[in-house]
Chain A
Amino acid sequence: MTYEITIGDETRVVDISRRKDGLFDVRWGNEAHVVDLVRPTPDAFQMLIDGEGWEAGAVRTSDGWLVDVMGFATAVEVVDPRRKALRLGTAAAGGSITTKMPGRVVRLLVAPGSPVKKGEPVLVVEAMKMENELKSPIDGILVELFVTEGQTVETGAKLARIE
């Protein structure tokens, strides 16, 4: 199998296969690792990576996995290149605002149809007593708002579209 695995700004094209002896070969770029995997619980991955012991957890998200390594949780996007063409076809031009945390929309700052500048706050989402301003990624027109004030949103929810 080949996957495009993205963490932050960095994408790795990772090749993974299961060998006859049950171990895994994992390769990307100049790196090649042999992994001995044990799965003690449905979300725990105990690995001997080239002999070195590691434990990770992985929980499904909408576009990949939330992986924690020694407690540090990282959002990892995983794309199967065979399905990528499909994804590109549906992606809209322009910019959209999504939320990185679940919460409640407390204020809408820009009315649909209005021009917005890159970096201009468009709406405010509150979670756990903290307000977070979500800003426009581009200069453009706020075409559509997908939420109303008071609405609860999940991580990754698309809140607004800017063109």
Chain B
Amino acid sequence: MTPPFQKVLIANRGEIAVRVIRGCHELGIRTVAVYSEVDRTALHVRNAGEAYLIGPAASAESYLVGERIIEVALRSGAQAIHPGYGFLSENAAFAQMVLNAGLVWIGPPPSAIDAMGSKTGARQRMIAAGVPVVPGTAEAIASEAEALVIAERFGFPVMLKAAAGGGGKGMRRVDRAEDFASAWRSTRSEAAKSFKDDAVYLEKFVEDPKHIEIQVLADAHGHTVHLFERDCSVQRRNQKVVEETPCAVLPEATRKAMAKVAVQAAEAVGYVGAGTIEFLFSQATGEFYFLEMNTRLQVEHPITEMVTGVDLVRAQLRVAAGEPLWFAQGDLHQTGHAIECRVYAEDPANNFAPAPGKISGLREPSGPWVRVDSGVYAGYEVPIHYDPMVAKLVCWGANREEAISRTIRALREYRVRGIRTSIPFFTAILRDADFQAGTYSTGFLSPERMEKLTEGARNDRIATIAAALAQFEADTRPARPAGSGASASAWKRSGRPGAGR
């Protein structure tokens, strides 16, 4: 098969850049990486066929400078740009610039990004397309007085949301009329500060919902398919932590209805490529509501790949080159169960504060049906400038129980030394009764539960013994510790991994 492109530039960093580079190489496409000054040693730079410096550490001066990225693409002879997620991936103006430069944009048409980019605009579009949305104002609200009247009509609690917001920022829950004025003011000012747009709208708060999303894939010839759902309800500070597919408690009829609506939504904006429609699902009423569309590849796309057998990056590349989808809806099935854990460089013992630093030792899990999409390696210094997610652990099982126990097994093998990570926290989540029941909602990781899970993960007695041994050795060391160096083989290290826990 001829490759869809000869050369592709990946306008991103970290694990997703590595993931896209892999997809390209498997198709015989040469790759061009771009990097900031602090990312010279990053894995994506070292894995790509070519790599070019585009500016200083700050994203605003490197990964967000569209002109420079396009210049590198043209100079290196790349034919297309893959934006990954984050950075410029949902920037319609950049997508248009790419097209204007005569390059292929591996993503949806700028008009589709635009249509879904504003939350209020997207709501209006979706209402027109017959897609259910959370009861709320389709447009930004002009005044506080007007907003309060609407809030009282829907009934508290309500959510105030920045029209230009995203990523969990610029939203606020209001439970009582007397709290409304201050919440209105702070949401407006936060919106103005974070998104340079103080437009705010209001939605009814759906009590205890699940966050369910549907993966869609469309070609440029009018075919749109869905690749089923992902349950992304395990969230902290509105950031996803653990995802799984299928959702353990979604009725089949609802799954079908949701998927149908997702395809409708994508078609309504002329979507091309891979995209995701996010929904809130109320377990109490069985109803679901459109939340937003992400017009790019998602972080959690691998779990969909694991259960459908479809390589989404490969599909993106082929669809962007103008190929029609090579499968129909009827060819797609969910087989087994997949779970993803997002490994963050964060300190579970210190309120999950970012914990960048040098990774002194790394052992990634392996074995049957275990996949690690990582952007780091032993000896790598995790920089302070970017997102704290460093890797994703994805495990597949023939059923949910198998997927959970396999993930726990893999987490036990996972060692990241020198920095703190969220790894031990996942084992506690996966063993939690509400997680195992599958009924957990987006409120699952409450501060109380977080504390309980974190407490369960620590073992101060063993840490004390290890610290005493380390200090004793340092104070009495004649030369090198016995057994160090060349004998550090994997079989020896895995010989005694804390058996029985």
Q: Which chain A residues have a beta carbon within 8 Å of chain B's beta carbons?
A: 1, 3, 5, 7-8, 10, 12, 14, 16, 18, 24, 26, 28, 31, 33, 35, 37-49, 52-60, 64-76, 78, 80, 100-104, 127-130, 132, 152, 155
Contacts and interface: CB of A to CB of B under 8 A. Distances in A.
A76 B488 contact: no
B327 interface: no
Interface stretch (B122-130, B139-147, B318-326, B416-424): B416-424
A41 B488 contact: yes
A142 to B, nearest CB: 23
B23 to A, nearest CB: 26
B469 interface: yes
Given A128-B388, A155-B357, A5 B464 contact: yes
A57 B361 contact: yes
B411 interface: yes
B72 interface: no
B467 A5 contact: yes
B400 to A, nearest CB: 23
Contacts of B348: 72
A19 to B, nearest CB: 12
Interface string B333-367: 00000000000010111100111110011000000
- Kindly list the 10 A-B residue pairs having the minimum CB-CB distance in the complex, ordered from nearest: A56-B466, A72-B424, A128-B354, A58-B470, A73-B420, A71-B424, A76-B467, A71-B423, A127-B354, A128-B388
A3 B386 contact: no
B501 interface: yes
Given A44-B493, A71-B423, A102 B498 contact: no
A28 B464 CA distance: 10
B384 interface: yes
A35 B469 contact: yes
B2 interface: no
B361 A5 contact: no
Interface residues of B, number: 65
Contacts of A1: 471-472, 475-476
A28 B360 CA distance: 30
B466 A59 contact: no
A39 B465 CA distance: 14
A89 to B, nearest CB: 22
Contact of A41 (B411, B419, B469, B484): B484
14 contacts: A39-B483, A41-B361, A45-B469, A60-B474, A69-B462, A69-B466, A71-B423, A72-B349, A74-B463, A78-B468, A103-B354, A104-B384, A129-B386, A130-B388
A3 B471 contact: yes
B88 to A, nearest CB: 16
B384 A127 contact: yes
Contacts, number: 201
B153 interface: no
A57 B458 contact: no
Nearest to A154: B357
Contact of B495 (A46, A70, A155): A46
A130 to B, nearest CB: 5
B457 interface: yes
A49 B420 contact: no
A24 B469 contact: yes
B37 to A, nearest CB: 13
A64 B467 contact: yes
A101 B460 contact: no
Contacts of B466: 45, 47, 56, 58, 65, 67, 69
Contact of B356 (A37, A40, A101): A101
A103 B382 CA distance: 12
B487 interface: yes
A28 B427 CA distance: 30
Interface in B386-426: 386-388, 411-412, 414-421, 423-424
A8 to B, nearest CB: 8
B401 to A, nearest CB: 22
A76 B459 contact: no
A58 B488 contact: no
A129 B485 CA distance: 37
Contacts of B75: none
Contacts of A28: 464
Contacts of B475: 1, 80
A1 B488 CA distance: 29
Given A39-B482, A41-B484, A71 B415 contact: yes
Given A49-B465, A65-B466, 11 more contacts: A7-B463, A10-B460, A12-B464, A56-B466, A58-B466, A65-B467, A67-B466, A101-B356, A103-B354, A128-B388, A130-B388
B386 A128 contact: yes
